[in-house]
């Protein structure tokens, strides 16, 4: 029996037994509320695997959980708003919500990059812990409130691969002058190692790599990389340190969010928590499967030489210092991240790393 029908008959029964007056009975009536429509623009192409699919599923869950009271219309990139203007459009109230990644907005505030993750930073598990229990999400909301935005956790790509290289990299010298498509803090770290970081729209990366306009590119991991076809033109596929657990955001216009009924806020938050966790499992499942396919396509799986890893760690600390000197907000966020990062690393090594060594060593 549907909840409303059940309640209605229970109330009718109570009215008969108690001999309620007509007016009192009417006050118990449950009226269907007005529909709430939410325009949600994403930074992803239509039918984008995992990230796009999960957002569509989130919208369906919210519709089911509210019995159709809340309708979330998901728009792929550029349909309603250009991919990298969703932040501004939502801030201005032109759309109610967006799905994207906070590292895209580091030009607005360098600190936003840190909510997306950082090289040698949190794993997806550690990142979730920092967001929910280490003050991360609270701090993120505080900084986004200045733009009239309210972020919810919108998923995590899990550990990303270091990228596709046309030539094998054996030393720091091999990186000098190398042109690589790599955004964010990872790009800044690579720049300190002599790499020339290039930003290219997704649609142009393959051709640039094929023609040798760029020497290397990172993207995400096996599941999404295989669809881009990079393996056909760059055979060396490196494990990564630059995006160990990149956060995606499901962000609302704050005025709109604050005006939503509390139960709707709770339902959307619960559904976004589901989106957040299931996306990591989806990446795990599809990356594992795609890796098996890639291995049959003649690629060479590589690990970075220790001298590059060591130099990249040093470069990271330089980048952090420079950004902290330039931006008070960056420093504020980093000062909260750093002790939490150290504490979690110790536990993750003792628990997870040692286990993986025993399992796979
Ligand atoms: Ca990436």
The model's pLDDT over 193-202, given as tens digits with 9 standing for 90+, comes to 999 999 888 8
- Answer yes or no: is pLDDT of 188 > 70: yes
Collapse the DSSP code of 197 into the 3-class scheme (helix H, G, I; strand E, B; otherwise coil) and give the result. Answer: strand
Q: What whole-number distance in Å separates Cα of residue 235 and Cα of residue 210?
A: 11
Give the Å distances, CA to CA, from 129 to 124, 126, 133, 245, 340: 9, 5, 5, 12, 10
334: CA distance to ligand 1 center in Å?
Answer: 21
287: CA distance to ligand 1 center in Å?
Answer: 14
Q: Where are the alpha helices (DSSP H) in 327-361?
A: 328-348, 354-360
Geometric angle at alpha carbon 45, from 232 and 81, rounded to 5°: 145
- State the architecture of 9-158+246-285 in CATH terms: 3-Layer(aba) Sandwich (3.40)
Evaluate whether 269 touches 152 at the Cβ level (below 8 Å): yes
237: CA distance to ligand 1 center in Å?
Answer: 14
160: CA distance to ligand 1 center in Å?
Answer: 6
Mean pLDDT of the chain: 93
60: CA distance to ligand 1 center in Å?
Answer: 27
- The predicted model gives 169-189 an average pLDDT of 97
Band the pLDDT of 32: cuts 50, 70, 90: confident
268: CA distance to ligand 1 center in Å?
Answer: 27
Q: What whole-number distance in Å separates Cα of residue 186 and Cα of residue 157?
A: 15
107: CA distance to ligand 1 center in Å?
Answer: 18
**Domain boundaries, given as residue ranges, for the chain:** 9-158+246-285
Number of DSSP helices (H) and strands (E) in the chain, helices first: 15, 11
- The predicted model gives 242-259 an average pLDDT of 98
80: CA distance to ligand 1 center in Å?
Answer: 24
356: CA distance to ligand 1 center in Å?
Answer: 24
- Answer yes or no: is pLDDT of 17 > 50: no
């Amino acid at each position: 029996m549907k909840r409303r029908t059940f309640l209605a008959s229970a109330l009718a029964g109570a009215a008969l037994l108690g001999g309620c007056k007509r007016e009192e009975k009417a006050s118990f009536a449950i009226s269907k509320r007005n529909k709430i429509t939410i325009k949600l623009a994403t930074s992803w192409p239509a039918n984008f695997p995992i990230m796009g699919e999960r957002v569509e599923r989130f919208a369906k869950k919210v519709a089911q959980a509210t019995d159709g009271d809340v309708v979330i219309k998901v728009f792929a990139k550029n349909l309603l708003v250009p991919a990298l203007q969703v932040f501004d459009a939502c801030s201005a109230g032109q759309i109610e919500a967006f799905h994207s990644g906070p590292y895209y907005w580091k030009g607005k505030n360098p600190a936003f990059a840190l909510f997306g993750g950082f090289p040698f930073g949190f794993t997806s598990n550690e990142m979730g812990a920092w967001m929910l229990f280490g003050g991360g999400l609270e701090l993120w909301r505080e900084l986004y409130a200045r733009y009239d935005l309210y972020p919810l956790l919108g998923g995590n790509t899990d550990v990303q691969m270091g990228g596709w290289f046309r030539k094998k990299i054996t030393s720091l010298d091999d990186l000098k002058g190398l042109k690589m498509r790599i955004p964010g803090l990872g790009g800044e770290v690579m720049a300190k190692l002599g790499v020339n970081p290039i930003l290219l729209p997704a649609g142009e990366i393959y051709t640039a790599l094929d023609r040798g306009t760029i020497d290397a590119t990172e993207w995400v991991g096996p599941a999404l990389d295989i669809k881009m076809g990079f393996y056909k033109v760059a055979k060396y596929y490196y494990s990564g340190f630059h995006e160990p657990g990149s956060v995606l955001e499901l962000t609302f216009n704050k005025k709109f969010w604050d005006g939503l009924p509390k139960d709707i806020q709770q339902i959307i938050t619960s559904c976004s928590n589901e989106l957040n966790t299931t996306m990591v499992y989806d990446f795990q499942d599809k990356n594992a499967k795609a890796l098996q396919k890639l291995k049959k396509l003649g690629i060479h799986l590589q690990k970075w030489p220790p001298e590059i890893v060591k130099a990249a760690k040093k470069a990271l600390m330089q980048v952090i210092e420079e950004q902290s000197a330039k931006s008070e907000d960056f420093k504020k966020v980093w000062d909260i991240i750093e002790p939490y990062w150290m504490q979690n690393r110790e536990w993750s090594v003792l628990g997870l790393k040692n286990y993986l060594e025993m399992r796979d060593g």
